[in-house]
Structures are given as C-alpha cells and as structure tokens.
Structure 1
C-alpha cells in the first residue's frame, strides 16, 4: 500500500472515539468561555444598536406636502373602515 489509511478520531457512524474525548477534554472550559464571550459581545452590540436607534427623534424633519396628504387620507380611510366594521358588529 502506497498511502496508509488515514487515522480518524471518529468511529463508525461518526461517533466520537474515546481518543477524541481525551484530546478535547483540556479545551472544553476554555472553548465554552470563549463562546460565551462571543455571544455576550454580540448581544451587547445588538442591544446598544437598538437603544441608540430608539433615541432618534425625527420630529424636526419636515415631510413633503404630498406625503402628509397621503397619511391624512390613509388615516381617514382607516377610521372609516373601523367605524364601518364597528357598526356591522352591533
């Protein structure tokens, strides 16, 4: 045989062998702490981003007149639909 069969840490059916368990044992705690640190960092960045965006106030920005009219028409249509549906339920 020219090329020897490669050894594997996995048994038949991709089951972890006892050798793999022994090889990975010293790194379990460190890997768990690293994973927890990465998750904590991601959650903190996400939370900071959400809180930073919630603080934005767009009340000083003026909308074009046609957008304001569309919003008023949509609100009137929604109010009419709500009134109509409430009168049907009675």
Structure 2
C-alpha cells in the first residue's frame, strides 16, 4: 500500500475522539481569550462607528433647490400612505 489510510480525530457521526480532546485541551483557555478579544474589538469598533455617525450635524450643508422640494414631497407622501 503506497498511501496509508489517513487517521482521523473524529469518530463515526463526527463525534470528537478522546485523542482530539487531549490534543486540544492545552489550547482551550487561550483560544477562548483570543475569541473574546476579537469579539470585544469588533463590538467596540461598531459602537464607536455608530456614536461617531450619530453626532454628525448636517445642518450646515446646503441642498440643491430641486432636492429640497423632493424631500418635502417624500415626507408628506409617506405620512399620507401610512
């Protein structure tokens, strides 16, 4: 036989074997801390982005005249259809 049958860390039904449990045991805490750090970083970037956009004030931006009338029509049509 040229190529030996590959061994698997999974048993039938994709159940984790005791060998896989032993092999991954030293890394569980470190992986959990790394995962929590990644989730915390993503949540903080999301929260910062939402807060940064929320505080923007666009009152100093002048809209073109055709956009001002269109904005009023959209607002009145949405309340009329509701």
TM-score, normalization: structure 1? 0.79
TM-superposition CA deviations, 1:31-52 (whole Å, max 9, x none) = 0000000000000000001111
1:76 Cα deviation after fit? 4.3
Aligned to 2:37: 37
1:74 Cα deviation after fit? 3.5
- The count of corresponding residues between Structure 1 and Structure 2 is 82
In structure 2, stretches of 5+ residues that fail to align are none
Aligned alpha-carbon RMSD (Å): 1.9
Aligned to 1:18: 18
In structure 1, stretches of 5+ residues that fail to align are 86-90
TM-score, normalization: structure 2? 0.86
> Which consecutive aligned stretches of 4+ in structure 1 deviate over 2 angstroms post-superposition?
71-79
TM-superposition CA deviations, 1:6-50 (whole Å, max 9, x none) = 111111122110000011111111100000000000000000011
Aligned to 2:62: 62
